[in-house]
Structure 1
Amino acid sequence: MADKILTEAKDKMKKAAENLQRELGQIRAGRANASILDRVMVTYYGVPTPLNQMASITIPEARILMITPFDKTMIQEVEKAIMQSDVGITPANDGTVIRLVIPQLTEERRKELAKDVKKEAENAKIAVRNIRRDAMEAYKKQEKAGDITEDDLRESEKEVQTATDNSIKEIDAIAAEKEQELLEV
C-alpha cells in the first residue's frame, strides 16, 4: 500500500512536469515551432479535427511554418481555423500551401514571455507540492490505522520528499531552458 502511494505520487509529479513542457511549447519564441498549432481545430466535413491530423506541418526556414493540407479542398477551412485561433499570426495562402511567418519578438515581449514562463513553472511546482502533501497525509493515515510503523512513515516521507525535490529540479530545468530560448536574440 505504501509503495502504491509513492508510485502514484511520482506519476502525478511526472505528469505535472510533462504538462509544463506542453504549456511552454505553446509559447512562441520568435522561431518556428509546430507545437504552437497543436490547439488549432479545423472543421472537416462538420467534425472538429486537430490541424496536425489533416495537414503536414513543416519548418522550411527558422521563422516559417508551412502547412500542406492532405485534402487541398480544405485549404480555406485551415486558413480560417488558424485565423480564428489564438496563434496571433496571419496565414499566407498561395492555393496549395499556407505559410505562417513568425515575427521577430521585441525585447519587451521577450521579457513578458519570460515572466509567463516563470509563472507557469511556479504553478507546476505548486501542483507538485500539493501532490507531496496528499501523499504525506495518506502515509500518516496509514500509520494512525496501524498499517505501517513510525519508522516506515519516516522512510516513506523521505522518499516522497526526494521525488518532490527531483520533480522541482526537472521543472526548474524545463523553465530555464525555455527562458534561455526566449531571451536568445
Structure 2
Amino acid sequence: MDKNQLISKIKEGMEKTISSLQSDLQKVRTGRASASLLDDVRVESYGSLMPLTKIATLATPEARLITVNPFDKSMLSAVEKAILTSGLGLTPNNDGKIIRIPIPALSEDRRKDLAKQVKKIGEEAKVAVRHHRQEGNTKAKAFQKEHGWSEDEVKRASDEVQKLTDSYVKKVDELCAQKEKEVLTV
C-alpha cells in the first residue's frame, strides 16, 4: 500500500462520517415539517417491523404538516400507533383515509435544547473524524516497519492526514452551524 491509497482510505472513512452527520442532523426537528423526521419510525406490518417509508407515502403539503398515506388503508391504526410510540413527540390525526401530523411550533427552551443536541451530534462527528486521523497515523507508522517507509514518508502521510482532518472538522462545523441557525430561527 502506498501513501495515496492510505490517504484515499482515510478520506473515504471521513466522507462516511460526514454523510452520517448529515443524516443525523436531518432527524433533528426544526419548526418546519420534514418527512425525514419519520425516517426511523418502524411499523408492525404483517408480522414484521417495516420502515414507514416502505408502507406509506409521506408528504409535506404545508410548512407545519406531514401527511402519511398508507398503501393499505387497514394499516392506518398501526401507523398511527408507531408514530405515537416513536418518541418524536408528535400527535397524528387519523381521519380514516390519511394521517395528518401537525408540527407544533417550538418553544424558545426547546430550540435551545435542540441547538445543544446539534452541538453534541457535531462533537461526536468530530471525534469520529479524529479517530480516522489516528487510524491513518497508526497505519503509516506500521507501514514504516512492514514496508520500509522512511521517516519522511511517514511524516508526509501524517501531514496529509492532518490536512484532511482539518478540512473535515471544518465541514462538520459548517453543517452544524447551518443546522443550529435553522433550529434557532423562529
Same topology, TM > 0.5 = yes
Q: Which residue of 2 aligns with 1:5?
A: 6
User: Are residue 20 (structure 1) and residue 32 (structure 2) matched?
Assistant: no
In structure 2, distance between residues paired with 1:80 and 1:31:
22
% of aligned pairs identical?
44
Once the two structures are superposed, what CA deviation does each residue of 1:123-154 show, in whole Å capped at 9, x if it has no partner?
11011111101110110121133532222212
Give the alignment's TM-score, normalised by structure 2. Answer: 0.95
In structure 1, distance between residues paired with 2:99 and 2:14:
38
Q: Which moved more, 1:122-131 or 1:151-160?
A: 151-160
Judged with a 3 Å threshold, the aligned counterparts in structure 2 of structure 1 residues 146 and 60 are, in CA distance, closer, same or farther, namely closer
Q: Secondary structure at the match of 1:147?
A: coil
> What pairs up with 1:1-150 in 2 under 5 angstroms?
1=1, 2-150=3-151
Task: Point out 4+ residue stretches in structure 1 off by more than 4 angstroms.
Answer: none
In structure 2, distance between residues paired with 1:53 and 1:173:
32
What is the CA RMSD across the aligned residues, in angstroms?
Answer: 1.1
In structure 2, distance between residues paired with 1:41 and 1:142:
45
Specify the code of the residue in structure 1 equivalent to 2:160: E
In structure 2, distance between residues paired with 1:41 and 1:131:
32
Once the two structures are superposed, what CA deviation does each residue of 1:19-61 show, in whole Å capped at 9, x if it has no partner?
1111111111111011110111111111111000111100010
In structure 2, distance between residues paired with 1:89 and 1:114:
19
Give the alignment's TM-score, normalised by structure 1. Answer: 0.96
Once the two structures are superposed, what CA deviation does each residue of 1:61-107 show, in whole Å capped at 9, x if it has no partner?
00100010111111111111111111111100011110110110011
Q: Which runs of 5+ in 2 are unaligned?
A: none
Q: Which runs of 5+ in 1 are unaligned?
A: none
User: Are residue 155 (structure 1) and residue 156 (structure 2) matched?
Assistant: yes
Q: Secondary structure at the match of 2:133?
A: helix
In structure 1, distance between residues paired with 2:165 and 2:99:
44
Specify the code of the residue in structure 2 equivalent to 1:92: N
